[in-house]
Structure 1
């Protein structure tokens, strides 16, 4: 993973990765034990589902985003008392095929970045990212215009509880993938 080492160093240097104690795992039924292991330190697959958006939602035309390579995995770093995730890391290869459903035009987008995700109790979340990710923006719902944006570099994405997004770039670039299949 080209981004994993760089992201770990960047996140550590920025003070974003913290260590903490993990509660001991007590003997439990197999399904419960597997769930506890997932929440307490084991990397698990985090597949992205294919999705379609109607014309005007992200692009001027109907679009489908479908992973063609998906090796993304996640590691839960901290949980809330109810067991829900508080902080996770996502990393791995993710290549999406973006298709204009009206013309059939296709393009690929490498979204193989690494993200430290912090979840707040109000439903908001913050991503600390190194590398490319593909983010959809609704009209007037964030710091970029409506589109499917490939954002690359080092940056922070703050999601409101309604999924409005604000990107703060340390350095990097943005590209609207809708223009690739228009």
Structure 2
């Protein structure tokens, strides 16, 4: 547990900083696009997601010899409205966690996260059931080159957004 708390403190110090983000210090906007999913893709109902607050920025921390990013930090407020397009029911998901994402040469990724992130899981495509979740706390998420997601919560929760709009 001490190791997890030390990792969280280190991540927070690396990502959060105290100065406002600007291109001069390497932080660049990282907008979250809206998207639509048919019924059954993540939730039993069709959904539309769209950011209502999006102040996320990213900073490349390491690059491969070819110049492609190998480690990227993300931070900033993000609230994503998840809407059941059949009924209009919606939930505003706080997804403004901080993360360091390692991009591996094989196309896989490892996310080291503190705070909430909105993550979708397809049928048999992760260690969580099909759905949209607000993952919150201290955790890692491995995403294979084929898209399989494996979440390891050190301390936190997985809130099923589909159930909120269902």
Length-normalised TM-score, structure 2: 0.87
Task: Find the counterpart in structure 2 of residue 137 from structure 1.
Answer: 121
* Structure with a larger share of its residues in strand: 2
Please say if 1:149 is aligned against 2:133: yes
Residue 141 of structure 1 aligns to a residue in which SS? Answer: coil
Q: Is the 8 A contact 2:40 2:46 kept in 1?
A: yes
2:95 to 98, 107, 111: 111
1:47 to 18, 27, 31: 31
Q: Which structure: larger Rg? A: 1
Task: Find the counterpart in structure 1 of residue 79 from structure 2.
Answer: 95
Please say if 1:164 is aligned against 2:164: no
Q: Is the 8 A contact 1:7 1:130 kept in 2?
A: no
Q: Is the 8 A contact 1:66 1:97 kept in 2?
A: yes
Give the superposition deviation at 1:150.
0.5
Structure-to-structure mapping, 1:66-81, within 5 angstroms: 66-81=50-65
Structure-to-structure mapping, 1:12-27, within 5 angstroms: none
C-alpha offsets along residues 29-82 of structure 1, whole Å, 9 cap, x if unaligned? xxxxxxxxx7x9610000000000000000001101100000000010000111
Backbone CA RMSD of aligned residues: 2.0
Alignment gaps of 5+ in structure 1: 1-5, 18-37
Q: 1:77 to 1:163 in 2, by over 3 A?
A: same
Q: Is the 8 A contact 1:143 1:165 kept in 2?
A: yes
Residue 124 of structure 2 aligns to a residue in which SS? Answer: coil
Task: Find the counterpart in structure 2 of residue 9 from structure 1.
Answer: 9
Count residues in correspondence.
Answer: 153
Length-normalised TM-score, structure 1: 0.80
Residue 126 of structure 1 aligns to a residue in which SS? Answer: strand
